[in-house]
Amino acid sequence: MKKLIAICVVIVLCCSSTTAFALQKQSMFTTDDDKIISQSGFDDIIHSIIEQIDEGMMTTFIMDLVDFGPHPTGSPECDQAAEYIYDHFENMGLEVHYQDWYIDSSLYGKNIEATLPGIDESNDEIYLISAHYDTWDNSPGADDNSAGVATVLTAAYILKQYSFNHTIRFVFFSGEEQDLHGSHYYAKEAYDNCENIIANINVDMMGYATNPLQESKIRIYENPLSSWIVNEYTIPISQQYADLINFVVLVYDDPTGHGSDYLKFWNFGHDALFYHEYKWNPYIHTQDDTLENMNVEYATKIAKFAIATLAKLANSPIADNIEPETPSFPDGPSNGLLFIKYTYTTSTIDPEGDDIYYMFDWGDDSNSGWLGPFNSGEAIQASHTWIKLGTFGIKVKSKDVNGIQSDWSDVHSIAMPRDRSNTNNIIIKILEKLIAIIPPVLIAMFLLLT
């Protein structure tokens, strides 16, 4: 009953501004057949969106989630938290569904996705804001990561009242605390389906600050392919709306790979940023990760920054663009030996002559990342080394410099190993076991010496 009352309270708070939202929504459109959202006056709308992100709403969401107690992935409490999120999306009138993922009988969970369609059905660009909703097994998870959940839910409540040029998805993952399983499944499925995810804003641990210096700073994590979001959106937004956001933006990469769900988007070639508190919270993964040890005002300010970035991205102009043709069959060996590098060649044409990036999927849960840019029609090469037995399907896709992707090419199979004796197969299987605990460089030295 308490949860139902909280949902109703939030709906009433949001609906109280319905008339203002409707007036603003009308002002965002031109009247031509293309239905392009006018950029004139859109800065004022972003200003209004930021002002409507309310500390009270953020607090309500955080308190409700903390009330579930610790809700690690796979627990009944985690299922209750998922249902709470799902119900909010459904009450907003958004299209919502669960995405189940499964590792084994002891580790499985579900993601939750709600969609706000863009105004042009033929435009396939997608922009995400995401957070994980599971906690450590002994922690109520106020900062890690009810603060992120509150941000995404707040984004949905406010942005659903508007229409944008591009589709927005509001996405929640479980399995983050167990090695990013939910986001791995989500990002891989999008990758396999060639979904045109242009950018993801990931929020996690964004509510710890104990003094004005910490409150004035935010960490943004990027990788090289995602730096355009920082340069074209994050930094300009921090400057343009400094009267409401007023952050010193500190930009980092993540060489350790110890971060949050954004890493899985990077792994599968999707551009993503991570919005994170400046000072690391000492209470995470403990029973003391509570609302009392959070700075909700600081979390709300980061939420304003993240949601403003998302809104700006989602209303970027619709490109009148055609995707590159599907790349040619990746030409190269069909049989090989473990620990040997093999090279494959492909090419494609962009109908508009744009430069092209390529990504090879090697069939062993790894890929090349986006390579390029290359000239349209130019033959390009990429190489890979396999380190386990089996037959692997190699495929390649392309995207132009505007981010528009092609379909996957036909699959080229390579078998490992080639014409080996049973004795050699046994040796290779032993090496496969050892590679998990011995650095690959030592194995390579062993092979050279023998």
pLDDT of 5 reads: 45
Mean pLDDT of 250-265: 87
pLDDT of 18 reads: 36
pLDDT tens-place string over residues 296-305: 999 999 999 9
Q: How far apart are CA 277 and CA 247, in angstroms?
A: 11
pLDDT tens-place string over residues 209-232: 999 999 999 999 999 999 999 999
Q: How far apart are CA 75 and CA 231, in angstroms?
A: 41
Q: Output Rg (C-alpha) for the chain, integer angstroms.
A: 24
Strand partners, 384: 342
Laid out side by side, the sheet with 412-416 consists of: 371-374, 356-361, 390-400, 412-416
pLDDT tens-place string over residues 73-105: 999 999 999 999 999 999 999 999 999 999 999
* HEC letters along 317-338: CCCCCCCCCCCCCCECCCECCC
341-419: CATH superfamily: Immunoglobulins (2.60.40.10)
* Residue of 116, 187, 197 whose CA lies nearest to 152: 116
pLDDT of 424 reads: 54
Q: 330-367 in b/e burial notation, b at 16+ Cβ within 10 A?
A: bebeeebbbbeebebebbbebeeebebbbbbbbbbeeb
> In the chain, pLDDT over 90 holds for what percent of residues?
78
* Residue of 160, 173, 162, 187 whose CA lies nearest to 89: 160
DSSP summary character for residue 146: I
Neighbours of 163 (CB within 10 A): 18
pLDDT of 430 reads: 61
Q: How far apart are CA 237 and CA 143, in angstroms?
A: 24
pLDDT tens-place string over residues 353-378: 999 999 999 999 999 999 999 999 99
Every domain of the chain with CATH number 3.40.630.10 lies at 2-18+40-314
CATH of domain 2-18+40-314: 3.40.630.10
Q: Taking CA 75 as the corner, what is the angle to CA 69 and CA 80, rounded to the nearest 5 degrees?
A: 65
Q: How far apart are CA 194 and CA 270, in angstroms?
A: 10
Amino acid in the structure at residue 36: I
52 pLDDT exceeds 80? yes
109 pLDDT exceeds 60? yes
Look up residue 165 and give its two tokens: 């040029």
Every domain of the chain with CATH number 2.60.40.10 lies at 341-419
pLDDT tens-place string over residues 277-287: 999 999 999 99
Write down the mean pLDDT value for the chain: 88
Per 3-state DSSP, what percentage of the chain is helix, strand, and coil (rounded to 5)? 35, 20, 40
Mean pLDDT of 331-353: 96
315 pLDDT exceeds 50? yes
167 pLDDT exceeds 90? yes
337 pLDDT exceeds 80? yes
Q: How sure is the predictor about 433, in pLDDT bands with cuts at 50, 70 and 90?
A: low
pLDDT of 40 reads: 52
Q: How far apart are CA 434 and CA 426, in angstroms?
A: 13
Phi, psi of 163 (to 5 degrees): -120, 145
DSSP summary character for residue 409: P
> In the chain, pLDDT over 70 holds for what percent of residues?
83
Higher-confidence residue of 156 and 120: namely 156
Higher-confidence residue of 439 and 133: namely 133
Cβ neighbors of 136 (< 8 A, separation 6 or more) are 70, 72, 144, 177, 284, 285, 286, 289
pLDDT of 319 reads: 76
pTM of the model: 0.84
pLDDT of 421 reads: 47
Neighbours of 86 (CB within 10 A): 18
9 pLDDT exceeds 50? no
pLDDT of 111 reads: 98
pLDDT of 34 reads: 38
Q: How far apart are CA 222 and CA 252, in angstroms?
A: 6
pLDDT of 17 reads: 39
Chain center to CA of 110: 16
pLDDT of 206 reads: 97
Q: Taking CA 290 as the corner, what is the angle to CA 287 and CA 294, rounded to the nearest 5 degrees?
A: 135
332 pLDDT exceeds 80? yes
